[in-house]
Homo-oligomer: A and B are copies of this chain.
Amino acid sequence: MAIPRDANDRVADAPLRRKPTINDVAQIAGVSFGTVSRVLNNAPDVSPATRERVLQIIKDIGYRRNRAATALVTSRSTSIGILSDGSPRFGPVGTLMALENVARKKGYATTVISVDKPYEDSVQAALDSLDDTGVGGIIVIAPLVDMAAAVWNATCRVPLEMIAAGASSTPNVFTYSENQELGARLATQHLIELGHTDIAHFAGSMDWFDGRVRKRGWEAALREAGLEPGLCIEGDWSPRWAYEAGLQLVRDGRIPQAVFAASDHTALGLIRAFAENGVRVPDDVSVVGFDDIEGSDFFLPPLTTVRQDFTALALMSTEVLIGAMEGREVDRTPIAPSLIVRNSAARTTSRSN
């Protein structure tokens, strides 16, 4: 089992293949490892001259701290775990990439794990295995309410933060998110300002926080404007579903003045259903999407949509988590999405539906 691979044939010249340790540095510098440790952690009690010399040697021989050893003795770590659902959907992936980015810039490594369907088991298992990789805190990207529930029920030694739109915090799980309800409001208000009064919603899945919250924003904006919420059809984010639902609308002759689609993909399917039946966007119907996926500016027509600021979200949420890890308290300001106006929504004309 313990086959020595790459055994160094010669033994005389020490500084060959082995990774240099703190002791090697100390020996070369003619000091004790304690001193080296002090300069590493830039602790006091070491003379400038010595510090300088040790630093130089560290650079020369390419010494780098062994994280395992450090983690073992300090039991604190400089890495954070990210738990995500496996879906390659726009929101989660965007968040994930942004998270890695800012964590790295703050000097934290990230280890990511994704979980599958029966969340009750998989989430706890993932949290555990993240824990024993030695992360100091965990951010979970939980777009699905089932998944979030599993997180709430899970136990975890390290600080836990959840990114879930509109979900509430519990004593042991911070929750943080972009204000997607606001995004939905923005979209709907835009439609209202354009003069539409009959504004439908092609909703996302109600299994997703994002779906729930966007729907809520649509409703709220309408009510605020004194309008009755129009048709609301709940789907699964997919272009296919939206396409078929759109077809149905056309068949039934129930085409609204405007629709707020819960995602750009939804808008895509819907627009195709309209296009195939001679219903023109935005001339006959206005459509606004949500996400600003790549290429949405080149849909036919270019899509008016809502963009989230994943970087800001990631920035804030790692800030919060690292704060929790270090025992600090960080105040969290919500992140606001923005409306991107393009060509898929237009002023109402003198048509009826």
Contact = CB atoms under 8 A, between A and B. Distances in A.
Nearest to A67: B132
Interface stretch (A50-58, A180-188, A192-200, A265-273): A265-273
Contact of A72 (B19, B66, B113, B130): B66
Interface stretch (A7-15, A252-260, A291-299): A291-299
A100 B112 contact: yes
Contact of A298 (B131, B272, B293, B294): B272
Interface in A29-84: 64-69, 71-72, 79
A157 interface: yes
A110 B94 CA distance: 18
Nearest to A103: B113
Interface in A93-141: 93-94, 97, 100-101, 104, 109-114, 128-134
Contact of A71 (B3, B68, B94): B68
Interface in A302-353: 327
B240 A297 contact: yes
A243 interface: yes
A93 B88 contact: yes
A64 B114 contact: no
Given A65-B132, A72-B72, A86 B97 contact: yes
A164 to B, nearest CB: 20
B109 A110 contact: no
| Residue of A86, A129, A132, A243 with most chain B CB atoms under a 10 A cut-off | A132
B68 A240 contact: no
B100 A114 contact: yes
A251 interface: no
A72 B299 CA distance: 54
A81 to B, nearest CB: 9
10 contacts: A3-B327, A64-B132, A67-B133, A93-B93, A109-B133, A111-B111, A239-B294, A239-B295, A272-B298, A293-B295
Interface of A: 3, 5, 19, 64-69, 71-72, 79, 86, 88, 93-94, 97, 100-101, 104, 109-114, 128-134, 157, 239-240, 242-243, 264-265, 268-269, 271-272, 275, 293-295, 297-300, 327
